[in-house]
Amino acid sequence: MKVKIVNKSSFDLPEYQTIASSGLDLRANIDEDIIIKPLERVLVPTGLFISIPVGYEVQIRPRSGLAFKHGITVLNSPGTIDADYRGEIKVILVNLSDKEFTIVQGERICQMVFAKVEQIEWKIVSNLDDTDRGEGGFGHTGTK
């Protein structure tokens, strides 16, 4: 699949790091460092603009290393970018640790994953099909 991209960042295009990678790492494209205090959230620009094909979305997901080592994660994980959005990709990060974290120019801040999506039509009915689970939720299936 070919995806149109405008790169206004200071970096090469995002690339898959291995042959089996699902996500592309996005980098912070900033003029000065951003310090994220504990429990603070920030919006980090990437300098990238893309044209997502209809029938797809882009999911913005945390990088596991940042999450584990520093408590930095994508706040609305996964963030969704719709196919008709044409603005700059910006990433909402939050610091869940008890220490400040500094984002520097070029820091890999998240992963971008392309995913197929379906749009639905509603069918109004008076009852839903029965299942073994029924209305059970929120831990209903237990832990095994």
In the chain, where the domains are located: 4-13+22-116
- pLDDT of 85 reads 98
Rg over alpha carbons for the chain, rounded to the nearest Å, is: 19
End-to-end alpha carbon distance in the chain: 41
Collapsed DSSP state (helix, strand, coil) of residue 94:
strand
8 Å CB contact between 52 and 82: yes
- pLDDT of 135 reads 79
Q: What is the Cα–Cα distance from 78 to 61, expressed in whole angstroms?
A: 5
CATH code for 4-13+22-116?
A: 2.70.40.10
Instruction: Assess whether pLDDT exceeds 80 at residue 36.
Output: yes
- pLDDT of 142 reads 65
- Segment holding 41, helix H or strand E: strand 41-45
